[in-house]
Amino acid sequence: MEKDFEVGLNMINLSGKEAIVTGAGSGIGRGICSVLALAGANVLVTDISGKGAEDTLKHCGYGDKFRARQMDVTNENSIDEIISEHIKDRKKIDILVNNAGIIGSEGWSNREIPNSQDWTEVYEVNVRGVVKVSERVSKEFQNQKRGKIINIASIAARQGSPDSPHYSTSKAAVVSWTQSHALQMAAYNVNVNAVCPGLIWTPIWESIARKRSQFGGSLETKGLEGKKLFDQTVKAWVPLQREQTPEDIGNMVAFLASDLAENITGQSINVDGGRFTN
């Protein structure tokens, strides 16, 4: 797998760059960290689970290119502590990837309709978490007069969802925040973009599959469960007829973080096998 995307990274040089990735304890975040390191960046892996962050270090295996810290994106003190520690230790930040996200509160997949706690927790992590981390890191970027921010949204932002409207709404808000923050930061030579992942088998999609197997999905997936439901969804929805991977998202993040994307800002780019074309 590494050789496949190493070739594509030959033109992307992030050597000496300092990157911070939130929600990097598994799934898409872990894939992003791996690709950024392959492109030459030093990566601070952060996650609400300190163990998850450490597991990503073990999984990636790139030695001193990685450090891990527990960080809660809903807690301003936690954010400031980790960012301040990083600046003291590494002297700069070049790349921020806001990847931390959830799809609901505990037990979400067992509820046909999201409750108020689902809405509250998803908003706090997926929207306010992105804003809080961005605003703290942007103070450093304003002083540096440079920097790259990449927010991980979702193709759920492109179309409403009957079973997870709270999640779709939160990701649409991330797209809107990306546009607004790009305009705020342009005067400081800072690029702000978003990536909208398509269908990727992650813990979030596992919970979606559990819910849809209980309460019914589309006609194409009726009666299916787990990965079989996911695979059939890919077949029905994705023109390229294949699922996406965490490394696919990492490749786009690495591009947007590189000098090749100097004149791209305020954009939300789908990596979804052609599911959406706008």
> How do residues 230-242 score in pLDDT, each as one tens digit?
999 999 999 999 9
- % pLDDT > 70, the chain: 94
User: Which domain does 238 fall in, by range?
Assistant: 200-243
Q: How far apart are CA 278 and CA 273, in angstroms?
A: 13
Please tell me whether the overall predicted TM-score, pTM, comes out greater than 0.85 for this model. yes
Residue labelled with tokens 């009666």? 223
> How do residues 27-65 score in pLDDT, each as one tens digit?
999 999 999 999 999 999 999 999 999 999 998 877 788
Element (H, E) at 5: helix 2-8
pLDDT reported for residue 10? 63
Indicate whether 176 and 62 sit together in one domain.
yes
Taking a C-beta distance cutoff of 8 angstroms, is the pair 227, 209 a contact?
yes
In this predicted structure, the answer to whether residue 7 has a pLDDT above a threshold of 60 is: no
Q: How many CB atoms lie within 10 A of CB 158?
A: 19
Indicate whether 58 and 128 sit together in one domain.
yes
pLDDT reported for residue 64? 82
In this predicted structure, the answer to whether residue 218 has a pLDDT above a threshold of 80 is: no
In this predicted structure, the answer to whether residue 6 has a pLDDT above a threshold of 60 is: no
pLDDT reported for residue 85? 97
Give the sign of the dihedral formed by CA 14, CA 19, CA 21, CA 25. positive
Q: Is 62 an active-site residue?
A: no
DSSP conformational letter for 219: G
Choose the catalytic residue: 62, 123, 167, 188: 167
> How do residues 153-199 score in pLDDT, each as one tens digit?
999 999 988 889 999 999 999 999 999 999 999 999 999 999 999 99
Residue labelled with tokens 């295996």? 61
Q: Does 81 map to a domain?
A: yes
Q: How many CB atoms lie within 10 A of CB 274?
A: 12
- At 9, the pLDDT band (50, 70, 90 cuts) reads low
Paired with 66 in beta bridges are 43
Indicate whether 129 and 219 sit together in one domain.
no
Q: Is 140 exposed, middle or buried (0-12, 13-18, 19+ CB in 10 A)?
A: middle
Indicate whether 136 and 237 sit together in one domain.
no
Q: Does 277 map to a domain?
A: no
Q: How far apart are CA 136 and CA 207, in angstroms?
A: 31
The total of structural domains in the chain comes to 2
Indicate whether 216 and 95 sit together in one domain.
no
In this predicted structure, the answer to whether residue 1 has a pLDDT above a threshold of 50 is: no
In terms of phi and psi (left: phi > 0; alpha: psi -120 to 50; beta: otherwise), the region of 61 is: left
pLDDT reported for residue 230? 92
